[in-house]
Amino acid sequence: MNNDYEYVPKNSFTRWLDTRLPILRFTNEHILQFPTPKNLNYFWTFGFILTFFLITQIITGVILAMHYAPNSLLAFDSIEHIMRDVNYGWLIRYAHSNGSSMFFLAVYIHMFRGLYYGSYKEPREVLWILGCIIYFLMIVTAFMGYVLPWGQMSYWAATVIINLVGTLPIIGDSLTQLLLGGFAVDNPTLNRFFSLHYLIPFIIFGLVLLHIWSLHVPGNNNPTGVSVQGKQDTVAFHPYYTVKDFFAYVVFLLLFCYFIFYNPNALGHPDNYIEADPMLTPAHIVPEWYLLPFYAILRAVPDKLFGVLLMFGSIVVLFFLPWLDTMKVRSARYRPFYKMFFFIFVLDCLLLGYLGAQVPEGVYLLLSRVSTFYYFAFFILIMPALSRLERPNPMPIGISNPALEQNARLD
C-alpha cells in the first residue's frame, strides 16, 4: 500500500542478510509496519485468533499422533491410553477436541463479520474464495478427525457421510468404494482418514498464507466499508493491532480453558465412548455442533439425492457471494434492509443448528424446511434483489471524515 516507511537494516549482519534473504524487510513491511485501517473493531481480531487455533490444532495433533494407533482393533483403546496413561495426555486430547470447536466458533464469527461488512466485495473476491476453500477443508478435516477415536458416533458418522457420496449418479458407487477401501467402514477407511487428517491441516496452512497474501494486496476492509484513502486512515499493524488482537485472543482463550478444564465433554456425544459396533446403529445420530445446520438441511428434503445436493449447495453458494451481492456499498451499516435480512439470516443459521439435533418429524421437519428455504433465499433471491432495489443511507466519504459533515457534500 503506501510506502512512506522504509526498512533500513540497522547493523552489518542485517545489511548482509537483507541482500541475500530479505526476510526482515518482508516481516517489517507485512507485519510490523503494515498500514491497517484505524477504525477496525473487535470482529476484526478473529483472523489472528484463527491463525493461533490452527497452530494449536497442528501442535496438539502431532503430539496425539505419537500415541494414537490408527488401526480399527487398537484405535479405541489407544484413545483411552492417551486419556489415562500418557503424561498430560488428557490435556492434549481435550485441547485438540475442544480446539476444533473453538476453531469453528471463531471461523463462524469471522465469516459473519465478512458477510455483515461486505468484505467479499470487489477487490476482495479472491480473498473470500480462498476463505471458503479453507472453510470447506476445515469441515473435511474435522469430519475425518471425528472418525479417529473409533467410537459409535465416529463409525456411524463415517457411514452416513460416505453414503452421501454414494447418492451421486453414475460415479457414486465406485467413489464410495474408493473412499471406504472395502464394502463398509473398516480398518482401511480408518487408516486413510488418519493419513488425510494429518495432511490437510498443512494444506490449510498454505492456503492461510495465500489468504493473508490476497488480504495484503488491497489491505483490510473496515466497519465503514469505505476504502482507505491515505495515511490519515491507517495505523501500523504493530503495536496497534498486535496488542488488540492479542487481547481478544486471551479473552477467547478463557472460553477455550473453560471447556478444557471444566466441561471437556460438553460439546461431544457420550455415545462416542462406546467402541464402534458395525452391527448396531445408535438410536440417534448427530454430528458435531458446528455441522448441525448442514445436517438439518440434508434432512429437510424427502428426496435423497436432492437433500445431498442442497447440503453441498449450501456451501457452494458461498463461493458466488461476490457476484450475488453487487451493491457497491460494502458495509451493512448503511444498508438498513440488508442489515435486517442479515440478522434474520444469523438467527436462521442458529435455528438450523438447533433443528439439526432434533428428530426430523412434525413441527421440526416443517421448521427445517422453512429455514432451509430462507438460507438459500437470502443468497439467491434477497441479495440480488437488494443490490438493485435498496437505497443505502448517507455514508462518510472517508474513514477519517465525520459522517454528518459529509452528508451535505453528498447532496
Partner 1 sequence: MSDIPEDDKPSRRDFLYITTGTFGAVGAAAMVWPLVDQMNPDSSVKALSSIEVDISEVPEGGFLKVAWRGKPVYIRRRTTEEIIRAESEDKEDLPDPQNDADRVKKKEWLVVVGVCTHLGCIPIADRGDYDGWFCPCHGSHYDISGRIRKGPAPTNLEIPPYEFASDTVIKIG
Binding site for partner 1 (CB under 8 A): 156, 159-160, 162-164, 166, 177-186, 188, 192, 278-285, 299, 302-304, 307, 359-361
- Give 117 or 193: the residue with its C-beta nearer to partner 1: 193
CB of 282 to partner 1, least distance (A): 8
Q: Give backbone dihedrals phi and psi of 266, rounded to 5 degrees, phi first.
A: -60, -35
Whether the bond between 149 and the residue before it is cis, its omega within 30 degrees of 0, is: no
- Give 192 or 216: the residue with its C-beta nearer to partner 1: 192
What distance in Å separates the CA atoms of residue 330 and residue 226, rounded to the nearest whole number?
7
Number of Cβ within 10 Å of residue 316's Cβ equals: 12
What distance in Å separates the CA atoms of residue 411 and residue 390, rounded to the nearest whole number?
18
Cα distances from 366 to residues 147, 296, 378, in angstroms, run 31, 11, 18
Q: What is the DSSP letter of 18?
A: H
- Give 203 or 365: the residue with its C-beta nearer to partner 1: 365
- Give 181 or 398: the residue with its C-beta nearer to partner 1: 181
Angle between helix 187-216 and 152-166 (nearest 10):
70
Cell of 59: 501442535
Which has the closest alpha carbon to 7: 25, 22, 21, 23? Answer: 25
What distance in Å separates the CA atoms of residue 365 and residue 301, rounded to the nearest whole number?
9
CB of 52 to partner 1, least distance (A): 34
CB of 198 to partner 1, least distance (A): 16
The per-residue b/e assignment along 143-154, b for 16 or more CB within 10 angstroms, e otherwise, is: bbbbbbbbbbbb
CB of 290 to partner 1, least distance (A): 20
- Give 34 or 364: the residue with its C-beta nearer to partner 1: 364
Cell of 308: 445431498
CB of 313 to partner 1, least distance (A): 18
CB of 285 to partner 1, least distance (A): 5
- Give 231 or 304: the residue with its C-beta nearer to partner 1: 304
